[in-house]
Amino acid sequence: MTYRVLLDVDTGVDDALAILFAVAHPQIELVGITCVAGNTSLENVVANTLKVLDTAGAPPVPVAAGARRPLIEPVRSSHVHGADGLGDTGLPASDRPVDPRHAVDFTRDILLASDEPVTIVALAPQTNLALLLRQCPEVAPKIERILFMGGSASGGNATPVAEFNVWHDPEAAAIVLDSGVPAFMYGLDVFNQVSIEESDAAALLAGSSASGRLAGALLQHQMADEAEHPGEEPDPQAYGGHIGDAGALCALVDPGALRIEHRPVRVDLAGFGRGQTIVDRRGRIGEDTVHGSGAGGATGGIAAAVPIDVALDVDAPRYARLFLDTIAVLP
């Protein structure tokens, strides 16, 4: 089976790994990439995306720039991706062109022109997608589903309860989840589990493939939560190894490695829980449903939310091997 995929990225160390995977995997037809501010500035995201495509020897994949900031919040770039957002890997600038259309117009045009539904794999704050679905609701039937890296059914990383992509623009994530477009959440519950052995990353770094060397350098970058004790900052010199966003593309082509539940999900938009994805895993109705006391007075509470697929556990070695085997074909 071939998946027609549009990537929405904030490239980003792990977005770069995901782009390498998307270019290489034979079941993925990459129809375009849209960029949004998140891990780093929009300018860095666009430049990083083009550099990674060059390194991967990708065909002329169209790339478009989108939102420079969240719908409401100010720009709040992540602190874990280096000064350039790409782990300071020093890749040369690209001369690939950038599509002149805004990401919203670009995505609308691709969807409406497609004879088959397109899967959107969102690896970033969902600002572009929220704008798309509000401005161009007619495109919704053209979206096979939105598979997004974001959220968590447990703890967070941006805050104790909120994952970065959703925390960065919670209103956008709420709009996407409430749109009715089928969605799949690849959140921190599985994101933090999939890593590459340090020896494998070292072999990539020492190899003859430019893509492999880039992957090795990115895997060496300390990105995820690797502090020795709770509350401590991770050691920036420690080995990282997480494939991060690339796991969402593994989920697309090999969902059998995941434990998935179909659950109602809402985004908390206020207070200390702002940006938290509240996943209703109850096996029976609760008092919120009985008494109509859901957040914001919504009858039925969270149980009335649109259910989506939520990844809760993963065969991590299987995805690690899938990632390595896939990028091995790149130059």
Structural contact between residues 244 and 224, judged by C-beta atoms closer than 8 angstroms: yes
Packed helices 13-24 and 210-220: angle between N→C axes, nearest 10 degrees:
150
In which residue are the tokens 């995820």 written? Answer: 224
95 is known as an active-site residue: no
Structural contact between residues 245 and 12, judged by C-beta atoms closer than 8 angstroms: yes
Instruction: Please provide the size of the chain in residues.
Output: 331
Catalytic annotation, pick one of 8, 10, 169, 245: 10
Radius of gyration of the chain (CA): 19
How far is the C-alpha of 34 from the C-alpha of 103, rounded, in Å? 6
| Residue 324: DSSP 8-state | H
The token duo for 178 is: 């409430």
Report in angstroms the alpha-carbon separations of 251 from 26, 99, 138, 246, 310.
Answer: 15, 28, 27, 9, 11
Give me the active site residues, please.
10
